[in-house]
């Protein structure tokens, strides 16, 4: 199955996809987005790489929460 990163290309589209996955004012997503930008934030959701700005446990919970919202029929996934 294709990853979110393969479906959504470019910084603007990455931010659009993130807005569909994260709740408004999601502090964790905002912190990561501010540090690495939209494209990298989008990629980090589906990777096992360390997440800048988040402790390991926080990154695991963040990934689990956002990745659960990515479905094959979703325009972002």
What pLDDT shows up at residue 5?
52
- What does the alpha-carbon distance between residue 45 and residue 51 come to, in Å, rounded to a whole number? 9
Contacts (Cβ under 8 Å, ≥6 apart) of 9:
none
Digit-coded pLDDT (tens) for 25-70:
999 999 999 999 999 999 999 999 999 999 999 999 999 999 998 8
pLDDT digits (tens, 9 = 90+) for 2-35: 455 555 567 888 888 899 999 999 999 999 999 9
Number of domains in the chain: 1
Give a yes or no: residue 72 inside a domain: no
pTM, 2 dp:
0.76
Is residue 74 a part of any domain in this protein?
no
Domain span at 21: 4-67
Question: Which residues fall within 8 angstroms of residue 44, CB to CB, at 6 or more apart?
Answer: 32, 36, 51, 63
Residue 73 lies in a domain: no
Burial track 20-49 (b if 16+ CB lie within 10 A, e otherwise)? ebbeeebebbebbbeebebbbbbbbbbeee
More confident: 75 or 39: 39
């Amino acid at each position: 199955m294709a990853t979110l990163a393969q479906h959504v290309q470019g910084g603007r589209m990455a931010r659009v996809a993130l807005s569909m996955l994260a709740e408004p004012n999601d502090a964790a997503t905002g912190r990561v987005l501010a540090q690495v930008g939209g494209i990298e934030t989008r990629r980090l959701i589906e990777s096992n790489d360390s997440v800048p700005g988040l402790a390991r446990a926080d990154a695991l919970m963040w990934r689990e929460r956002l990745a659960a919202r990515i479905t094959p029929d979703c325009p972002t996934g």
